Structure 1
Amino acid sequence: MQAWTVERAAEELLRREDKRIDGEPLSDTWPELDLETAYAVQDETLRLRLARGETLIGVKLGLTSRAKQQRMNVDSPLVAWLTDAMVLPLGVPVPTHKLIHPRVEPEIAFVMGRKLSGPGVTAATAICAVEKVFAGLEVIDSRYRDFRFTLPDVVADNASSGLYVTGSVGRSPDELDLALEGCVLSVGGSVVYTATGAAVQGHPAEALALAANTLARRGKRIEAGWVVLTGGVTDAVPLSAEAPVSVDFAGLGRLTVGS
């Protein structure tokens, strides 16, 4: 078998995404894949996305809640990229024909008012850089069969990026207690999960600070105007044609996606 390289891995993951096929984790046949190499794959994948016309518009955090870490059998959060091709307009059905096995999770989304550069960013300084807070739903989609992966695998796969949508209610962060911001996730009208913003690293601003400091180690920063998805507040649920997925936030309103 041909040896894995950063470039080959990036091309393979994009091929799976474009062809709507999954496969075994890279680490099955590339045991040397570590986090540093995985982030290099992620950055190479971004380079290929930009080369084909996509625009970088933000970052997303993955596995920030204990529920997600337990489900995916990993023990630390990660940071990945958002491009304009991942935006799902409000009210538009999810194009499931372009996805492999989509799942939906609720997010607290930030729109940045100014740039944020690590190292040494704290939650207090991070939240001061936020202009608006929105409800979000992320449609995650793994290029690995059965969502089976190690932490380096999912980092390389851009944190299972798929699509995301944000709500129409944007509020200043000083209007909300984001740690106590209640969230109810329902499928077909039936409540599946409840949580608060504290499920995301204790406070979503902690996740934002983590993103800034993680990016700083890679020589990068969060830019003004970017969207930051702070990570799933609850575990994700499968998306089906029969049952739309809704989230109700206490201060950020309701958001629904369906196929």
Structure 2
Amino acid sequence: MPWDVASVAAELLRCEDEGVDRPPFTDEWPELDLETGYRIQDLNLEARLARGETLVGVKLGLTSRAKQERMGVHVPLVAWLTDAMLLAAGDPVPQSRLIHPRIEPEIVFVLEDRLAGPGVSCASAMAAVGSVWGGAEVIDSRYRDFRFQAGDVVADNASSGAFVTGPVGLPPTALNLALEAALVEVDGQVVDSATGAAVQGHPGEALALAANELAKRGHALEPGWIVLTGGMTDAVPAPPGASIAIHFSNLGSIFINGGA
């Protein structure tokens, strides 16, 4: 079928609601570029809000070189977070509504002040942050085998699934975020590690990127919003029965079980 913004948006929500995957749209619609992908993403945000979800912030994707190399997409992405994506501490991976979940560690900001681009720098971005948290994002994709081009993944809300924040929140002045480390354990074995420097050199750079990118679309980051700054390491699979832990230097530990 011929695809357009409205039909791709509807198909992505259908795949998400039914827990089914599909080939990337660029196989049939190579004109699906980043700008078009963001139009689709924004249209589906309207649909999420219309069905009762609440906008709580934004997430960044592919902010680390490791993730860009892994996925073959070499540009950072911005996407929306709603309350339907938030997991409480101790909740298992919601396998029944996800297709092929993977987990990655993230530095998470909660904003104290409004942050609007263009021209936001790392320093001005960090001045708007109220607190810093460790986090884990459970990414998912509506594309089979996580195969996609940049326009596909932007349209798919940057592979959004679910997220959880850790037990420790600190003011940004209490941390050296470039050196804040995360260890990823799967079933008791350390499988990966990274520091905040993996995220655009400093997570504040990712925050500035989000503000400046959103300004192009007529949006700003609002007080109280949560910002996931992007995976520090590559994501690890989270199948049923898995036990995954993320240990931060100063931001505590997060434990997630794969559920059933």
In 2: Cα distance, 1:241 partner to 1:39 partner: 32
Which residues of 2 match residues 87-236 of structure 1 at below 5 A?
87-236=86-235
In 2: Cα distance, 1:49 partner to 1:30 partner: 24
In 1: Cα distance, 2:188 partner to 2:124 partner: 38
Amino acid in the other structure paired with 2:84 = A
In 2: Cα distance, 1:4 partner to 1:48 partner: 18
Q: Which runs of 5+ in 1 are unaligned?
A: none
Runs of 4+ in 1 over 4 A off after TM superposition: none
Which residues of 2 match residues 22-41 of structure 1 at below 5 A?
22-41=21-40
Indicate the SS of the match to 1:134.
strand
TM-score (norm 2): 0.98
In 2: Cα distance, 1:61 partner to 1:242 partner: 28
In 1: Cα distance, 2:243 partner to 2:127 partner: 35
Deviation track 1:31-68 (CA, whole Å, cap 9, x = no partner) reads 11111111000000101101111010000000000000
Deviation track 1:192-212 (CA, whole Å, cap 9, x = no partner) reads 001100000000000000000
In 2: Cα distance, 1:195 partner to 1:35 partner: 28
Superposition deviation, residue 93 in structure 1: 1.3
Deviation track 1:201-254 (CA, whole Å, cap 9, x = no partner) reads 000000000000000011100000000000000000000233211110001010
Contact 2:167-2:253 at 8 Å conserved across structures = no
Amino acid in the other structure paired with 1:245 = I
Superposition deviation, residue 92 in structure 1: 1.2
In 2: Cα distance, 1:202 partner to 1:44 partner: 32
Q: Which runs of 5+ in 2 are unaligned?
A: none
Contact 2:109-2:227 at 8 Å conserved across structures = yes
Amino acid in the other structure paired with 2:220 = R
Matched residue count: 258
Deviation track 1:167-197 (CA, whole Å, cap 9, x = no partner) reads 1210000000000001101101100001100
Identity in percent: 62
In 1: Cα distance, 2:54 partner to 2:127 partner: 26
Q: State the partner residue of 1:249.
A: 248
Superposition deviation, residue 11 in structure 1: 0.5
Amino acid in the other structure paired with 1:80 = A
Deviation track 1:141-187 (CA, whole Å, cap 9, x = no partner) reads 00000000001110000000000000121000000000000110110
Superposition deviation, residue 95 in structure 1: 1.5
In 2: Cα distance, 1:26 partner to 1:46 partner: 19
Superposition deviation, residue 74 in structure 1: 0.9
Q: Does 1:84 align with 2:92?
A: no
